[in-house]
Amino acid sequence: MKTPIRVAVTGAAGQIGYSLVFRIASGSMFGPDQPVILHVIEIEPAMASLGGVVMELQDCAFPLLKGVTQTSSLEAGFKDVDWALLVGSVPRKAGMERKDLLGINGKIFIGQGQAIAKHAAPGVRVLVVGNPCNTNCLIAMNNARPVLPERWFAMTMLDQNRAVAQLAAKSGADTTAITNLAVWGNHSSTMYPDFRNARIGGKPATEVIRDEAWFTETFLPTVQQRGTAIIKARGLSSAASAANAVVDTVRNLTTPTRPGIWFSVSVCSDGSYGIEKGLIFSFPVRSDGQKWQIVQGVALDEFSRSKIVASESELKEEKALVSELIPK
C-alpha cells in the first residue's frame, strides 16, 4: 500500500470544508489507490462543530482514510503535511468586493505561513482558497520564506470551470469539449477568462460562437460576477463548487496535463508576460505531475492585454494595502 498523503484543511467545519473533506477522503483528489490522513483545523469556537464533521467522516468508513487529526493548533495541524489547503477565513457578504476582506482575513495568513514553514513536510504544497485568495497567498508565502515560491498556489479553477460551463451552454457542446480556457489575473471581478484562446472541440471558441458582443457583454461579466450572483441567490458564497475546484486544482497539479492544453491556477509570477515578479497571478499552467510551468507564447491581442494589465494593477494595489503584513 502507498504511504498516506497528509492533507491539512483549515476552516474544515465551514461551508467549503464540509464538502471538501469528504471528497478528499473518498479518493477524488489523489486517486482511488492513494490513502490519506486528514488534518482538520478550526478556530476554538468551531471545534464542537468540527467534532461533528469528524464523526461523519468516521461514519463514511472510507477505505482510503487512514487517520484524522482534529485541532485548533497550527503546529499539530500542519505537522508533516504534504498539502495545506487554506480555506479557513471569513467569506464576503452581499455588497462587498473580495478585497474588502483583506483587513479581516489578511493577518490569518501570517501565522499560517509561519507554521507551515516550521512544521510541514519539506515538500509541502499550499493552495489558498480563503479570500482574497491571491493576496492572502502572497502574505502566507512571504511569511514562510524557506518554502519555495513554486509551492504556493491560489485558486482560480472555479473561475475556469464557470467559464467552461458558460461556453458549453452557449455552444451546445459538452463541457469536455471546452479546452485551453485560461483565467488570467486576480480571483476578483477584474479576472480575465481568456475566450480568445479557448477552444471548443479543438476549434477556436470565437469561430464556433460567432458573436463578439456575447463574449464581451455577456460571457465576461457573467464569469467575473458569478461569485456575487451566487451570494445573492444563496445568501452564502459558493461552497460545493468551490470544494470541487479545490479537488480539480490539486488533481491538475499532481497529474500530467494532456498535450496541447492548459489549466488555470494562480502562482508566483516569474515575470512571464511582463507581470510583476512575486505577485500571485493566475496564468495558463501545465504540469508533468510533479513540476508545473507557465505556458509561454500564448497570443494576447490588445484587448486581452488591457484586461490582464488591469487585473495586475489591482493585485499591485492589494499588495500595497498589506505591505505591513509582508516582511521586508
User: Which residues here bind ligand LMR, judged by CB under 6 A?
Assistant: 91-92, 98, 131, 158, 227, 230-231, 237-238
CA distance 326 to 131: 17
**17 or 227, CB closer to ligand LMR?**
227
CA distance 147 to 201: 40
The active-site residue out of 6, 79, 162, 187 is 187
Residue closest to ligand NAD when measured from CB atoms = 14
CB of 238 to ligand NAD, least distance (A): 5
Residue 180 backbone class (left: φ over 0; alpha: ψ -120 to 50; beta: rest): left
CA distance 278 to 256: 25
The partner in contact with residue 70, picked from ligand LMR, ligand NAD, none with C-beta cut-offs of 5 to 8 angstroms by kind, is: none
Q: What separation in angstroms does the CA of 102 have from each of 92, 226, 321?
A: 10, 20, 8
**81 or 220, CB closer to ligand LMR?**
220
The partner in contact with residue 239, picked from ligand NAD, ligand LMR, none with C-beta cut-offs of 5 to 8 angstroms by kind, is: ligand NAD
CB of 97 to ligand LMR, least distance (A): 9
Cβ atoms of 325 and 110 within 8 Å: the answer is yes
Residues with Cβ within 8 Å of 156's Cβ and at least 6 positions away in sequence, in order, are 183, 187, 191, 264, 265, 266, 282
CB of 144 to ligand NAD, least distance (A): 15
Residue 305: exposed, middle, or buried by beta-carbon count in 10 A (0-12, 13-18, 19+)?
Answer: middle
- 215-224 in b/e burial notation, b at 16+ Cβ within 10 A? beeebbebbb
Residue closest to ligand LMR when measured from CB atoms = 227
**190 or 257, CB closer to ligand LMR?**
190
The partner in contact with residue 10, picked from ligand LMR, ligand NAD, none with C-beta cut-offs of 5 to 8 angstroms by kind, is: ligand NAD
CB of 59 to ligand NAD, least distance (A): 20
Cβ atoms of 81 and 124 within 8 Å: the answer is yes
**69 or 264, CB closer to ligand LMR?**
264
CA distance 150 to 244: 23
CB of 190 to ligand NAD, least distance (A): 14
In the numeric block, which cell numbers belong to residue 243? 470544494
Using CB under 6 A as the criterion, which residues of the chain lie in contact with ligand NAD when the complex forms?
10-11, 13-17, 41-43, 46, 87-92, 108, 129-131, 133, 155, 158, 187, 237-239, 242
Told to judge if 119 belongs to the known catalytic residues of this protein, a careful annotator would answer: no
**73 or 306, CB closer to ligand NAD?**
73
Active site residues: 187
